[in-house]
Each structure stands twice: as structure tokens, then as C-alpha cells.
Amino acid sequence: MNLLYVLSYLTIAVFILAIAKRFIKFAAMPAHLRWELYPVAHEGKKSVYGGSYFEDTDWWKEKLQQNKLNELTVMLPEIFLLQGIWEHNRKMWLWSFLMHHGVYWCAGMAGLSILYITLQFAGWGYSGVSSFVDLFIAVTGTIGLAAGTIGTLGMLGLRFFDAKMGRFNSFATYFNLFFLLAIFGIGFINLIAGVDIFRQTVGFFGALLGIGFSGYTPGVILFLTLAILFVLYLPFTHMTHFFTKYFTYHSVRWNDEPNLPGGKLEKHIGEYLQYKPTWSAKHIGADGKKNWAEVATSEVLKNDKK
Amino acid sequence: MTKNNYGIAEFSQASEQLEHIEMSDLYPLPAPYDKLEEQPGWQKIKDAVKQDYESSLDDTIAVGIPKPKTEAEAEKYVAAFLEGMRKLFTKENNWTFLQPLMLTMEHCAKCQTCNDACPIYEASGQKEIYRPTYRSEVLRRIFHKYLQPGGKFFNSLKHGDIELNWTTVARLAELSYRCTLCRRCAQTCPIGVDNGLVTHELRKLFSMELGIAAKEIHEKGSVLQLQVGSSTGMNPLVVKDNMEFIDEDTSERTGMDIKTPWDKEGADVLLLHNAGEIMAWPENPGAFAVLFEAAGISWTLSSDLVGYDAINYGLWYDDVQFARVALKHAQIAKKLKVKKIIMGECGHAHKALMVIADRIFTSEFNVPRESSMTFLEEIFNSGKIKFDPEKNDFPVTLHDPCNMVRLMGIVEPQRRILRALAPRFREMTPHGVHNYCCGGGSGFAIMSPYNFRDWRISVSGRKKMQQILNAFKDEPAEANKYVCAPCSNCKGQIRDMFEYYGVWEKSRINYGGLVELMVNAMVDVKEPYIEWGMH
């Protein structure tokens, strides 16, 4: 088990670093030209029909009102109910919903396990609170493993048999799904075989935090190993959409921030206009020495091919 | 290799033609447009053209790249494409769209949720290459295989394989002109991936690195506009002459004394028309003049080079050309010391100057910009003009230009005017931000090389055609009906579709802008302003 503990510490470190690196990568990118798409959720009442502040006379004279709460009313159903798939891809919804909830509930189980251990540290090991958390670990874990198993099986079926999807699948598409199925499935088999998977999982987290634990069964070791490996693998896949969705929505789809004179945005734009493009088409007139501002204000040349 | 029996990898395998559409494959239109034998059909690309120009994608040609004569020439194209792709992912070359592009390249789950939102994919009978995900997947595989660390073998295994060769490059150039950039697909993506953006970026790569773009939007579009003043070819003298004629005609038709003000320094408003209106639909700038004069607006047009043509085709294919035109517009407004620019009835010009250009202007050029939809509503609400809605007592429906509505959120002002001034107004289904593109978006409306006009009418405009017919399905065929389309490009596409199918003759459906309907309802204008008939 020591090897698994080492792998787990390593995984946690890699996960945090890789996610942070990815987050910084997107956060540090230049503020692109506006590319919003309506409805923009924070537009308040106008978001009901997709309206914007452009509907208002002399909109630049008023302080722009943004209803951030409204963003939550869109994001929460999107995250927890998969609203977009419900509306536009109904046949996938059930499987995708179950698969995603498999992940959510299992993550919840992990979180509760850590809470349980923390309660132990706090001396509430045998309190009512602790028993309550213990019960919740079993409930969330059971729901997670069952939903995840059914969901990934359904998604695999769709990927295999749906002609629309088939041609776009790559090795990674199947690998990811089989990987998830292996985790959920092995966990679920442990569960129905009567193995105390949740007690062992809590024990595992306890061991990671310094409380010794023994009594693992081979099936749970396999479950935990695969789960850890998946967490290690996740930051390097498109599944990072669980957090990059923040950028696709807030930085792109809903980013309607106007560039007002004297504002922070204007300062950044001034910096971007100093970049020196190297595009090769002659009509651009870029030579790697002129900056964007100079290129954009230069006379257009005829469209001679490169 | 047709009938949808190909995948992504086959895109790079040379063949005579990857996809073919039979008329019977197309999404059916309502009666009396449901009889295929009565439709004009498609011209075929001549063999001589096929020999000289790239045409291996489908039944049409939009760009028409000359085929390379030697292997070395083909390799040069491929190398330039790859170099362009590298640049697309650097902030120095593409700070303008780097973040959304990278997010889109790295997060598509290939769930195909966006497919059915695409009017081209649907109308074509779900042809594989027209899926919003198809061209993105081709680009994504090239991105992973040729630009990402990890090696070609591993990345091909992980993300799917594709070969980057002349066939791939040539087909991608054409395929980037089979999407109208309406971004309906992006609206449905739960992750926020934007396959419409991929089209935009591909066009940019071709234009900015290889100097390849559709002739109508580059050579005869933004280049002509920057050199002569307008993509219509009108220089300042000609445009003033034409507007003088429009003033005379409008005065005669309305009984008002209309004289368009030019280059009036210190006017409140600089009105920017799509110059295509002046050439093709003079009643539109005429109606603007009537309303502005009747409401006592202090306004002006500009006769400076570029200042009398709001179009900015760079929006669809080239960031530098885009910036050049936008800066000219801003400089002119600054020079005239106007309080604000009002965008005429042109969707892409709205988005270009009000939204996209917003982040290239530093304060010197940041002149406030407002939509004519908003401004017209203000005029309407001011009470300065008396209207009689009964003068518009005919069925009216509204087309939502994608750029103005889905991509800017200007949804209600035009509707509030129509509800008040057109008693028989009805919506299309779907409408507002969920509308369908007219089929002429992203430059298609002005593109008619070879048989491309047939394609854009039969395929990209098909869903809109269906929507328009359905909006009037309960009206008698002989009754006059009006499609209000407050966008020049959309009107161009609708005009071409109506001509192609003989819509005026069969269904008495006319089209025009919002201002024409407003003037038609003016109490002080005694004769009807709207002229019924195909024009």
C-alpha cells in the first residue's frame, strides 16, 4: 500500500500543479476581441429574451448593470442538470447525466471522507455528527458508483453504435470511457459483493493524512489505484472542461465588457497593439518590425499571393 | 466517395469529389416549392474549370484556388498552411482570438450536440462535411498531430489521424466557405466550444498567411473599399451623385423636401449606410433621410473615402483588413466631431464597428456607436412623427440578422416598432437569438462565383426560406406580404432566393427594411412608400 500512498501524494501534487498551470495559461492570454453570444446571462431581465445593453439609447452614458446571480441560474442547471444536452441532444442526456453525476457523487464521497477524518482529528470521532457523515459517505458513494457505471456504459453504447458520433471517436474517446467504467464498475462490483468499500476508502484518506489503516481488500485496492491514476490523467485531457468552462462562458460567451476610455481594458489593448505580427500575405504588410498599430494604419497593398 | 461513407481521415485522401448533394437530399420546402422538378436546379461546374481550380470538396466552388502545377508548388502551400497554423496560436499574431480559439481546440467532447443547430447541415440532408464539427475536427487533428508536443504517432493515436497534404489544405480553404458564421452551433455547446470560430480562424489563416480569400470579400471587398471608398466601386463623387438622385426621388414620393446633409461638422449623428443600399435599395437610405428630417435630427453622411460605406468584410476573414476599415470609420467620426455614429440597416457592420472593433480602439478613436434599431425606436417614441399603423395593414414577419441579434443582443427595439406599426406582424419560428441565418451570412450574399449562388440559395438559405414561407402559411397566396429584414446582406440573400424560386409571382411575398415600413406608416406621407413587386 505504501506505493499507492506515494502515488497518491504525487497525484495530488501533479493535479494541483497541472490545473494551476492550465488555469494560468488561459487567464494570462490577451483579452481577445469581443465574441459574445446571446443570451448573456448577466444581462438581467433582458437575458430572458437575449437582449443586451445595446438596446438602450446612449448606453455608454449609463453605468452597466450586471446581474451575477443570473449567471448562477444558468450555470447551476448547466452543471448539475446538463441543461444544454437536455435541450439539444436529448438521446445523450440520460447517459451523460448519469456519468457526470457518477463523478460528482464520487467526488462528494471523497470530500465527505476527508471531512470524516477531519472530525476524527477534532475529537468528534464517535459523535452524532460523525455518524451522520458516515451515513452520507455510504449514500453518496452508492449513488455515485451506480450512476457512474450505468452512465459510462450508456455513453460507450452511444459512442459505438451512433453513426453520428462514430466517425469522430478516437482512441482517447474510448480510453477515457473505459477508464471511467473500470473505476465505477469495480467500485460497484465491490459494493454489491458486500465489500466495505466506503470504510476502506475513508481508511485510505485517513492513511494519507497520517492515521494508520490496514484491512484493504484486493478489489478496493484496484478501485483506489484506478481512481488515483484517473485523477493523475485528468488534467491532461479535454475533461478539464470542468473548470475551463469558466473561461468559455465568462471570458468568451458572456464577455460583453465594453472598452471605455481610460479603463483597464484600454490599457491592455494599448499593449497588445505593440505586438509585432509576422503574417506573410503581402497585403498585410507585416515584416516582424512593425507593430499591430502600424500594420493596421498602413495603406492596403494589392492582394498579391505570398 | 459520397453518401456520407467517409470519416475525417478520408478528407486528406485525394478523390474527384468528396461530397455530392442530389436535389432530393435537400430538406423539403413547403408547397408550392416542394416540387423538385419545378426548381431551377444547379448548374454543374464545367470540366475545364475543374481541371484548373480546386473543386474536390463538393458540388460548388467558393474560393477557387488554382491547382498547383508541380509537386513543389503543392508542398509550398502545405508548408505555408502549417506556418500559418503556428502563427494562429501565438499572441503576437493572433492576440485577437487566441484565447477562444485555444479553448475551442482543446475542449471539444465530440458529442455532436451542435450538429442539428446548423442550417447548412440540416438543409443539405445532413451531409458529413457540413457538420459544424467536421472542419473543426480536421483542424483539431492537424493541430494535435503537427503542432503539439508528444510526437505525431502518439498524438494521432490519441486524437485521431489526418494527413496534412495539398488535398487537405485545398479542401479546408473551400470548407471554410461552407459556414455562414451564424454561430448557432456555438449557442448549443454545453462546454462553450465554438466551431463557428474555427471557420473564422481558418479563413484568417488562409488570408493572412497565404493571401487566399474569396475574391468578393477581399479583392472586390475590403481592398476595393480601402482604395476606392466602397466595395460597390462608388467613389465619393459617385456616391454623392447617387444620393442626390435618391433625395429627388424620395422628395417626389413623400412630398417632403429631402436633402441629405454631407460632411456636416458637429452634427449629432454620423449615419453609416451599407453602400449596397444606395445601389440596390435606394428606398432604404431615402426612408432614413425622411425619418431623420421629420424628427429634426442633426445628422450627416460622410463623403470621405470609406466613410460612406459601413461594410467591413474583414470581420469574416482578416483581422488586419478589418482593423483598417474600422479605424477609417472611427477617424472620420472623430474628424466630423459627431456625438455618435448610428449604424444603418446592416448587421455585419453593426457587429464590426460596435462590438468587434471595440477592442482595437484606444480612447482617441472610441467614438460612441449605436444601432439604428435603438435610434429609430427613440424617434418613434419621441412623438415627433405621426404614424398610422393601418397603412401597414398587411402580413409582416421579421428576419433577425444573426450579427445584430444573436451576436449583439439587439432583439426588442425593432419588434416594439413592428408591434406598434404593423398590426399583422407575426414571428418566424424560431426567432430572436435562436433565429436561422438568411444563408447569406459571412459574405455569401455577395458571393456568386461559378455555381456558388445555386448552392447558397438551395442549401445555406433553405431553412430561412422555409421559415419565411411558414410565417405566411395561413395567408392567401394572392395577398401582399412583407419580410422585414433590417440588414443589407440578408436582403441580398432573400432577394436572390425569391428570384430563384419565383416567390413574388407564386406567393406575393416582398422584402425590405424597417425604415421603409415606418415611412409607409407616416401620416404625412400620403402615397404608399412601399412598392410591391420583385425588386
ipTM of the complex: 0.95
CA atoms of A225 and A5, how far apart (whole Å): 10
**Pairing label, strands B369-371, B269-272:** unpaired
Q: Does residue B139 come out as left (phi exceeding 0), alpha (psi in the -120 to 50 range) or beta?
A: alpha
**A281 contact residues in B (CB cutoff 8 A):** 207-211
The beta-carbon neighbor of A89 closest among B87, B111, B197 is B111
CA distance B309 to B19: 38
Smallest CA-to-CA distance from A237 within B453, B159, B217 is with: B159
Closest residue by Cα to residue A233 from A61, A2, A7, A79:
A7
Interface test with A, best of B138, B320, B343 (most A CBs within 10 A): B320
Q: In sequence order, what are the residues at sequence separation of 6 or more whose Cβ sits closer than 8 angstroms to the Cβ of residue A89?
A: B111, B112, B113
What are the tens digits of pLDDT across the range B363-376? 888 999 999 999 99
pLDDT for A119 equals 87
Mean pLDDT on A96-100:
98
For B350, which residue in chain A has the nearest alpha carbon?
A54
Split at pLDDT 50, 70, 90, the class of A305 is very low
Nearest CA to CA, how far is A235 from chain B (Å)? 12
> For residue range B10-35, what is the model confidence (pLDDT) as tens digits?
999 999 999 999 999 999 999 999 99
Q: Do B227 and B152 touch, CB atoms closer than 8 A?
A: no
Model confidence band, residue A213 (pLDDT cutoffs 50, 70, 90) = confident
Chain A residues within an 8 Å CB radius of B323: 292, 296
Put simply, whether B437 touches A (Cβ < 8 Å) is no
CB pairs < 8 Å spanning A and B = 281
Report the alpha-carbon distance of residue B68 to residue B70 in Å, rounded: 6
Beta-carbon contacts of residue B385 (< 8 Å; ≥ 6 apart): B291, B294, B295, B379, B522, B524
Which residue has cell 456616391?
Answer: B239
B310 contacts B346 by C-beta, under 8 angstroms: yes
CA distance A143 to chain B (A): 24
When pLDDT is averaged across residues A144-163 and rounded to a whole number, the result is: 96
Three cell numbers written together for B138: 480536421
Chain A nearest CA to B501, separation (Å):
32
Gap between the Cα atoms of A290 and A280, Å rounded:
13
Peptide bond into B282 cis (omega under 30): no
**Residues B196/B179, Cβ–Cβ less than 8 Å:** yes
B68: contact with A, CB 8 A cutoff: no
Task: Tell me whether residues B103 and A244 touch, CB distance under 8 A.
Answer: yes
Domain A2-253 has CATH 1.20.950: yes
Which one, of A57, A83, A188, lies nearest residue B376 by Cα?
A57
Per-residue pLDDT, A300: 59
**What's the Cα-to-Cα distance from B77 to each of A144, A220, B24, B62, B201, rounded to whole Å?**
52, 55, 37, 18, 17
Contact A170 B158 (CB under 8 A): yes
To the nearest whole number, what is the mean pLDDT of chain A?
93
Query: Is the pTM of the predicted complex or chain greater than 0.90?
Result: yes
Cβ B211–A305 below 8 Å, yes or no?
Answer: yes
Are B80 and A78 in contact (CB < 8 Å)? Answer: no
Question: Is residue B1 predicted with pLDDT exceeding 60?
Answer: no
Q: Say what the alpha-carbon torsion angle B428, B429, B435, B437 is, to the nearest 10 degrees.
A: -70
Tens digits of per-residue pLDDT, B146-175? 999 988 888 898 899 999 999 999 999 999
Residues in chain B: 535
Question: C-alpha B216: how far from its chain's center?
Answer: 13
Is the predicted pLDDT of residue A212 greater than 90, yes or no?
no
CB contact under 8 A, A296 and B324: yes
Strands (E) across B216-360 are located at: 269-272, 299-300, 340-343
B356/A34 Cβ within 8 A: yes
- Between CA B443 and CA B452 the distance in angstroms is 12
Give the mean pLDDT of chain B: 96
Element (H, E) at A41: none
Facing residue for A277 by CB, picked from B93, B213, B355: B93
The crossing angle, in degrees rounded to 10, of helices B98-107 and B132-142 is: 90
CB B118 within 8 A of CB B132: yes
Indicate the residue of B98, B137, B409 with minimum beta-carbon distance to A43: B409
Establish if B217 touches chain A: CB-CB under 8 angstroms: no
Cα separation of B75 and B383, whole Å?
Answer: 66
Residue A184 contacts residue A149 (beta carbons within 8 Å): yes
Q: Which residues pair with B53 in a beta bridge?
A: B66
Residue B295 contacts A, CB cutoff 8 Å: no
CA atoms within 13 A on the CB side of A278: 12
CB atoms B96 and A32 under 8 Å: yes
Ramachandran angles phi, psi of B532, nearest 5° = -85, 145
Q: What is the pLDDT of residues B208-228, one digit of tens each?
A: 999 999 999 999 999 999 999
Rg of chain A's alpha carbons, rounded to an integer? 25
Q: How far apart are CA B424 and CA B416, in angstroms?
A: 13
Q: Distance from A34 to chain B by nearest Cα, in Å?
A: 5
* Closest residue in B to A295 (Cα–Cα): B320
- Please say whether the dihedral angle defined by the alpha carbons of residues B106, B111, B117 and B123, taken in this order, is positive or negative: positive
What is the Cα–Cα distance from B304 to A214, expressed in whole angstroms? Answer: 83
% residues pLDDT > 90 (chain B): 94
C-alpha cell at A136: 452520507
Please write the tens of the pLDDT for every residue from B233-289.
999 999 999 999 999 999 999 999 999 999 999 999 999 999 999 999 999 999 999
CA atoms within 13 A on the CB side of B477: 10
Nearest to A266 among B362, B370, B409 (CB): B362
* List of chain A residues whose C-beta atoms are within 8 Å of the C-beta of residue B188: 84, 87-88
Domain ranges of chain A: 2-253, 273-297
Give pLDDT, residue B4.
66
Chain B (123-162) residues lying within 8 Å, Cβ to Cβ, of chain A = 128, 133, 137, 157-160
Lowest mean pLDDT among A260-269, B85-94, B248-257: A260-269
Residue whose grid cell is 485523477: A231
Does residue A96 contact residue A79 with C-beta atoms inside 8 Å? no
To the nearest whole Å, the CA of A112 is away from the closest chain B CA by: 28
Percent of all residues in chain B with a pLDDT value above 70, rounded to a whole number: 99
Strand partners, B425: B396
Grid look-up 449567471 returns A71
Chain A residue with CA closest to B218: the answer is A303
Q: Provide, as residue numbers in chain A, all residues whose Cβ is less than 8 Å from the Cβ of B368.
A: 58, 60
Tell me the Cα Rg of chain B.
Answer: 23
- Considering only CB atoms, which chain B residues are within 8 Å of A92? 111, 113
Going from the C-alpha of B290 to that of each of B258, B261, B293, B457, B522, the distances in angstroms are 7, 12, 5, 33, 10
- CA atoms within a 13 Å half-sphere pointing along the CA-CB vector of B137: 28
**Confidence grade of residue B194 (pLDDT, cut at 50, 70, 90):** very high
- What does the pLDDT look like over A78-91, one tens digit per residue? 999 999 999 999 99
DSSP state string for A122-134: TT-TTSHHHHHHH
Residue B100 with chain A: CB contacts under 8 Å: 32, 35, 248, 251-252
CA closest to A243 among chain B residues: B191
User: Do the beta carbons of residue B159 and residue B149 sit within 8 Å?
Assistant: no
**Distance (Å) from the C-alpha of residue A135 to the closest C-alpha of chain B?**
34
Residue A303 has pLDDT above 60, yes or no: no
- Residue B301 has what DSSP assignment? B
Shortest CA gap A93–chain B (Å): 10
